[in-house]
Structures are given as C-alpha cells and as structure tokens.
Structure 1
Amino acid sequence: MAEFTLHDLQCFDAVIRTGGFQPAAAILHRSHPAVFAAVAKLERQLDLILLDRSGYRVRPTEAGLSFHRRARSLLHELEGLRVHAAQLSMGEESDIHVVIGDLCPRPRVLGTLGRFFAQCPGTRLHLHFESVSGPWERLFDDKADLILHWIDKGDARVEWIDLGKVPFIPVVAPGFLPQPIEQPITLEKMQAFTQCVMRDSARHSPQQDYFVIEGAPQCMVADQGMKKEIILQGLGWGHMPRFLIEDELRDGRLLSIAGRHLPGRIEELVVARRRDRPHGPVASRLWDHVQQEAPGLLRALPGELGL
C-alpha cells in the first residue's frame, strides 16, 4: 500500500464534513478537481471505496466512516502539534489582554493578576471590563488572551478552569414594593416596577438579555456596582450576585424576593481561553498561575460561592 499524504486526509475529511467536493474545496481554498483527485488517490492507495457517489450528494461508505474516525483523531493531533510548535516559536509577549466579566469578584481576581504581573516586568497587562456577552465577543474576535466570565462549555473552541458558582438573587430595597404585596410574587406583578438591567457591552454580536421581564420599565447600567446602588436607593429592582450583597441581605438593606416564579439563577464562573489558538509563554504561565490559585480564589468570599 502506497503512502498517503496529509493533504489527502485533509481533503477526505473536508468532503465528509461538508457533504460534497465543491464545499470541501471552498473551505480548503483549493480547486474542485484538486480535492476530487486527492480523495480518488487516497482510495487507490488504500484499495478501499471510501465514498458512495451514486446519489445526489456523496456519502461515506461503512469503510469510509470507520477510516474517517481514525483520520479525525490523527488530524486533531496534528493540529495540536502545530499549535504547540507555534507556542514554542513565540518569544515573551509584550502585551497580554485579560477581560473581566460582570459576575466576577474583582478585588480577589485583580490581586491574583497583580501578583503574577509583578513578576513579568516586560509584559504589559491590558485589562478590559465587559458585561453579558462582551467577554465572549472579545475572546472570539482574538482581542483577549483570557476571560473571567461564564461560557458555553459545549463550545469546542474553548477550554476553561472552573472557579466557582455565583448565585444571582432577585432583590429589592425595603419599601420598594407596596405593602402588603399579594403573594406569590409573579413576573406579571413585577412588570409594573422599574427593573435595573445590565447593558450588554458586545459591539457587533446579537445583544443578550438575562432576567429581563418583557414590557417592564427599565434602568440600564454598565456595571454591577451601579446596579447595586440603584437598587439600594429604591430606584429599581434586579438580580444581583450574592457575593456583592451578602452584608445588605444580612442587615436588611436589601430583601430577597426569590420564589417559585423568580427563582434566581446560578452561573459557573470560569477563566477561559481559546483552545484553537496558540498561546505565548507569558499567557501559558498565567494560565498555570490561575489554575494553581483557583481553589482558594473565591473560597473566602461570603455566600454560596466557591467549589
């Protein structure tokens, strides 16, 4: 059996993933005849029929499916090797970009970053503070080396380190709601009251809304600190991360209205980076540093936070 090439495997993989030679050629930036010839050559070299060409769209044969599973593993390993080689070839970065999301406890995280970058005088830290889907947008626009936020853990482009669970609780100031308010408190009843909502800082991604009650008057804010102050002053109500309002809940300056209709929510705070991008030596050491500090990073905070 003759030796097949990486190019042959990439063409075959692209045909399987896209369902045809033309779309495979498009994603590989090659011509249709070149992709067709590479797959045909691969079949001759293996003495196997990998594709069923009898229908409108090509389909893998049983042998093709089995071969493709092994080929994908090999291609994945080769991609990892390419990324690793790119990391090895990088010098120390002059700039690192870190995005802190709106549910992140800033003092403890900033302390962790400060201790690390004190040991990296040749690298400038660029801090960005984003809300809602803003952190993800910067990450996928290649404008962030790390983000501290919550992510879609099903996205294969991302790897993460778990930091802790952040409960969000719907709260009001005493006297904000008429007394006595009829129980249970429902979404329909809260529709009449001003809701304080975090503004999505994403610039071009579809805007995301969380906890928003349709039709309710809104007060839009850029950060959790302003949101907390507005709720404390009785100018609106909203969901707040518990670690930010533990003292106020304890001394009665804020009241939880959580219940069956307003259950709140628990978000998983992580530090995340792109899995499909190379990372320089400083960014890699920062990742290891955060991983080492992760167990104690949030443990000392009040409330139901931490792993």
Structure 2
Amino acid sequence: MKISLELLQILDAIDRHGSFTAAAAALHRVPSALSHAVSKLESDLDVQLFIREGRRATLNEAGRTLLEDGRHLLRAAGELERRVRRIATGWEAELRIAIDSIVPVERIYPLLDAFYAAGHSTQIRLSQEVLGGTWDALATDRADLAIAAPGDMPPRSGISSRLLCTRTDFVFAIAPHHPLASVPEPIPNSEVRRHRAIVIADTSQELRARSVGLLDGQDILRVPNMPAKAAAQVAGLGIGYLPRWLAEPELATGHLVEKQLAERRQPMPLHIAWRSRQIGRALAWFLDALENPAYLGPLTVGL
C-alpha cells in the first residue's frame, strides 16, 4: 500500500504548520526526511499533492482530498490505540479535556491536583475551544471530555452530556469613550446594530460555526480569546457582552462601563459533555468529580 498512516501524519503536519520546516519541527524530524517522503509518495501515486512557493507548501485539490479523507483514518487509528490501552488496563494513556473559553482554565487546576494526588498516571492534555468548537472537539476526536460546552448538543452519536449551568451573569460592557456610552438607556437594538461587535472566533473544524449575540448587518471584529475580547472593548474597538468575572476588574478601574440594553441576551445552557463509547477509568473519575460541589461550584462563578 502506497499511503501509510505515517505519510498521512506528515501531510497533516505540513498542512497545519504551513511548511516542511515547521512540520518537521512539530514531528521531531528533519525537513529533508519529510521532503523525501512526500516526493516518493507523489512519485508512487504519479500525482502532485502540493503547490510549493518558496518555503511554503499548500495542498492542491488532489492533496486536499487525500488529507481530508486521510484524517478520518488518523482519528480512527488514534481511537483504536486508546481503546486497546483502555481494554488492557482500564486507564487511558491520555485524557484530553476541552474547556470553553467562557471558563478560565485555572479553575480546573484543583480538580487536576486531586487527580494527581490520587496517584493516577493518565496524562492530561488541556485545550481551549470557543462556542461550537467545544462540541466539535468531541465530534472530531480532539477531546474526550468537554467542560462548559454551550448551547444544544449537535446530532452526533457517541456523545453524552449533562447540564453544568445556565449562564446569565453577563455584562454588556463598552469603553467610556465609545460613542454608545452616551446613548440613553435602555439602548435599543437599532442603535446597537450601528456599532462594531467584538466576538471570539468559533474554533469548529467540521461542525457548523456558531455565533452569539450578533445582530443582522452588524460589523464584526473577531479575536482569538476572552482576554483579547476584553482588551479590544477597553480600547474602544467595539462592543459586546463579557462574563462578569472578566468584566468586573475593568469596570472597577473605569476602563469599561456597563450599559443596559432594551433587549437582554437570552441565557445559554452550558454542559459537561464526553465521548461515551467505552468510558475509561480516568474519564469516569472526572465525570464523578464534576458532580462534587467542591469542584463544580468554582467552575461556574461569574458565569
């Protein structure tokens, strides 16, 4: 067989990192080894897979098709390895936890401390996702457990969920020098629509991207995370809601002011969600711990 999992991993790394050099660093290989492997594959298949422009390498249509289908094989192989490990020992070699950006990552550190103190050896990998990206991480096998997945669960098999909380404690915050700050309250949507909204880009890779609180026709500035959103609003670049835990320090210093809108944003449910096929002992430990008020309570403060 001309196409191996190793070659698919190489193609995936080049696509994600944009060059053979960066991909080689990520894979702990030398660039010449990757270049040779790709050239041999192109020769064996008698097709060109990349458009090469200087140091950058971009997949052409044939290469993109190969990689998109190949990623399904990579995910299946990874899941097979993890399943064999779970069957052999009951404990996962690695547990991947995706946390929605609405929750500060450090809030789950006491949970991790308790897990390590119990002597468990499963490696933990944390990642942050935004909106639908938290569900997408489960659906595309980037995560085993998701914390604060927002909104409705997508229609995908193999995922279970339970309610974490319904977030309501959001502040519509703007810089005091922003034009909207002088508009009488409550501010109507017709006025809000005239001003740029600061939003965090949804991190979905396969599921449809979601958005929250945007009005039709409203200009948008997309930023990568919650601190960047708060900073953009402090700078007067736009407007939007912030979780109270993030807004309060800026409100206290006067860098932001809270305004009341005529139409309040609807509460959104946040969930604990997980991949439910063959639950390992580490995932089961976290699911049990996340029912303990001592760990659950601090997660939801200011949401």
List gaps (5 residues or longer) in structure 1.
1-85
Distance 1:218 1:161, change over 3 A: closer
Determine whether 1:216 maps to 2:218: yes
- In structure 2, the partner of 1:291 is 291
- TM-score norm. by structure 2 comes to 0.62
Residues 212-242 of structure 1: CA deviation (Å, up to 9, x unaligned)? 1222222101111100011112121111111
Q: Distance in 1 between matches of 2:191 and 2:161?
A: 41
* RMSD of aligned alpha carbons: 2.8
Q: Distance in 1 between matches of 2:169 and 2:189?
A: 19
Q: Distance in 2 between matches of 1:179 and 1:128?
A: 36
Runs of 4+ in structure 1 displaced over 4 angstroms? 86-90, 153-157
The Cα of 1:136 is off from its aligned counterpart by: 0.3
Distance 1:274 1:179, change over 3 A: closer
- In structure 2, the partner of 1:266 is 267
Q: Give the length in aligned residue pairs.
A: 215
Distance 1:205 1:295, change over 3 A: closer
SS in 1 for 2:143: coil
Q: Distance in 1 between matches of 2:177 and 2:89?
A: 59
Determine whether 1:91 maps to 2:90: yes
Residues 54-111 of structure 1: CA deviation (Å, up to 9, x unaligned)? xxxxxxxxxxxxxxxxxxxxxxxxxxxxxxxx97765321110100102113222233
The Cα of 1:113 is off from its aligned counterpart by: 2.4
The Cα of 1:291 is off from its aligned counterpart by: 1.8
Contact persistence 1:108–1:298 (CA under 8 A): yes
Distance 1:232 1:118, change over 3 A: farther
Contact persistence 1:131–1:199 (CA under 8 A): yes
Equivalent runs, 1:1-307 vs 2, <5 Å: 91-120=90-119, 122-149=121-148, 150-152=150-152, 157-160=159-162, 162=164, 165-177=167-179, 180-261=182-263, 263-275=264-276, 277-292=277-292, 293-298=294-299, 301=301, 303=302, 305=303
Contact persistence 1:131–1:200 (CA under 8 A): yes
- TM-score norm. by structure 1 comes to 0.61
Contact persistence 1:104–1:269 (CA under 8 A): no
The Cα of 1:184 is off from its aligned counterpart by: 4.0
The Cα of 1:163 is off from its aligned counterpart by: 5.0
- Highest Rg: 1 or 2? 1
Q: Distance in 1 between matches of 2:91 and 2:147?
A: 22
Q: Distance in 2 between matches of 1:125 and 1:251?
A: 37
The percent identity for this pair of structures is 24
